[in-house]
Structure 1
Amino acid sequence: MTISLKPAHRAETLGANVLSQIKELLLSGQLQPGESLSLRSMAEAMGVSMMPVREAVYQLVADQALEVAPNRAVRVPIMTAEQFDEITRIRLHIEGYAVELATGLAAPALIRSLRDLNEALSRCMEEGGDSLAKTILLNKSLHFQLYEAVRMPMLIKLIEILWLRIGPILNYDLREGSERTRARTAVGHHTHMIDALEAGDAVGAREALWQDIQSAYQYIMARRYAQADVSAVAAGQGHP
């Protein structure tokens, strides 16, 4: 997959800019499990020296979002089924809580923005082909725009840590143009969630988010890990 990096802005520290861009590659699923990273190529793409890239990468290694292979290459970790299951369980709690809090803060402007993102996501899924790459970014943008509405930096940080680990595999079906993508399953769950947000229904919004998370989880477990009913989450019993 071709990844997108931009020249680092001098208005902020180079280290922060480089770290932010590499995080975005992981959060939005532009990097895949097992994919190796060329620090030199990233430095050249961003127009910086190797130092800020190396510092950013090793910070992400410390956060377990990247790892150093035995041959010293830096790569995206390959997630086991057990790790995927654990992170999904945690997401149900933390992201569900964020959606509940956001329900009381969902101003009309936020609702319109979420609907616009979901409609764009639907169009890209319908078009397929090259447009599928955009679905990954749109899905991430929709979720984080909602979570950021709660204005709780530590909560967002916790969600970001989970997505840094799960992002490369979370969009497995979007990258592959699966039946879930063709059926626009995520769009349907998002629609129910946004409708509940607009109605002030915190329980309904959380339930729609759970369905969204569990649907992707079940698909990835069945297709990538080839395991059936590996956990309570897969069986639809993963509600906090």
Structure 2
Amino acid sequence: MTLAIATLPLLERRTLAESAYAHLRDLLASGRVAPGEKLSLRDLSEALGVSVMPVREAVSRLIADGALEVAPNRAVRVPVMDGRQFRELADVRAGIEGWAASLAATARSEAQLDGIARAEAAIRGAERSADLGHAVQLNRDFHFAIYGAAGLPTLVDVIGGLWLKAGPVINLDLRHSRDRLTAGHALRCHAAALAAIRARDAEAARAAIAEDITRAADFIIDKGGLPSG
């Protein structure tokens, strides 16, 4: 059993399939499993403290979501993307998540603005932290604080699905290296997004989040960590 799987929390006995689905979504979106990594139903069920049945149901849903796939040997694994596929996903994310940020700029409440500001300050404070896994969580908190302020739960669900596919690449990269943080692009884009949302400038908020996503994709592709398309 891999360390990432072994650290999954035990589930309560109610709504087991839903709970398993939620925890496995988080496992993928947070980059705790790598592209190409195989997932054992038995290991997952043991880690979550449930039978294989709810885990199988959750995995089937994730396969339908495109977040997992069945390899030719019938093993379940995290999909591997090449550079072209990752660029396409980043372009889609930039469009949709940028739109969500533009909506948040005009729809946000003062309480939501305070939450976005706290999340931005937290990720800034993690720049020199030794805990890169915590930096990943803070980055997600910042983005989804913005998307939640857009006021469209369906849009947040769509974005969550995109992060399921992108997470094993973008967050695995961040978990293993602070280069993206120290390069300054992410922190600058985050600060610009916060300033735009504070000023209720929808276009500037859209541009800041779109640039954040595009810059991260450029950084990962330029590092050569993805197969060529």
When the two structures are superposed, what TM-score results if normalisation uses the length of structure 2?
0.90
- The residue number in structure 1 matching 2:221 is 221
Q: Is the 8 A contact 1:125 1:184 kept in 2?
A: no
- The residue number in structure 1 matching 2:103 is 101
Query: What is the CA distance between 1:83 and its match in structure 2?
Result: 1.1
Q: CA RMSD in A?
A: 1.9
Query: What is the CA distance between 1:184 and its match in structure 2?
Result: 4.0
Deviation string 1:79-102 (CA, Å, 9 cap, x unpaired) is 111211111111121111111111
SS of aligned partner of 1:30: coil
Query: What is the CA distance between 1:178 and its match in structure 2?
Result: 4.2
- The residue number in structure 2 matching 1:210 is 210
Q: Compared with structure 1, are the counterparts of its residues 81 and 190 closer, same or farther at alpha carbon in structure 2 (3 Å cutoff)?
A: same
- Structure 1 alignment gaps of length 5 or more: 231-240
Matched residue type, 2:208 = A
Q: Give 4+ residue runs of structure 1 displaced > 3 Å after superposition.
A: none
- The residue number in structure 1 matching 2:10 is 7
- The residue number in structure 2 matching 1:237 is none
- The residue number in structure 1 matching 2:179 is 179
| CA distance in structure 2 between the aligned counterparts of 1:43 and 1:167, rounded to whole angstroms | 22
Deviation string 1:16-45 (CA, Å, 9 cap, x unpaired) is 111001001111222211111122122122
- The residue number in structure 2 matching 1:234 is none
| CA distance in structure 1 between the aligned counterparts of 2:211 and 2:91, rounded to whole angstroms | 13
* Bigger relative contact order, structure 1 or 2 (CA pairs below 8 A, ≥6 apart): 2
Residue-pair matches, total: 225
| CA distance in structure 2 between the aligned counterparts of 1:185 and 1:226, rounded to whole angstroms | 24
| CA distance in structure 2 between the aligned counterparts of 1:47 and 1:173, rounded to whole angstroms | 29
SS of aligned partner of 1:8: coil
- Structure 2 alignment gaps of length 5 or more: none
Aligned pairs for 1:49-64 (under 5 A) are: 49-64=51-66
Could you tell me which of 31, 34, 38 is aligned with 2:33? 31
Query: What is the CA distance between 1:189 and its match in structure 2?
Result: 1.0
Aligned pairs for 1:19-168 (under 5 A) are: 19-127=21-129, 129=130, 131-168=131-168
Query: What is the CA distance between 1:53 and its match in structure 2?
Result: 0.3
| CA distance in structure 2 between the aligned counterparts of 1:6 and 1:136, rounded to whole angstroms | 18
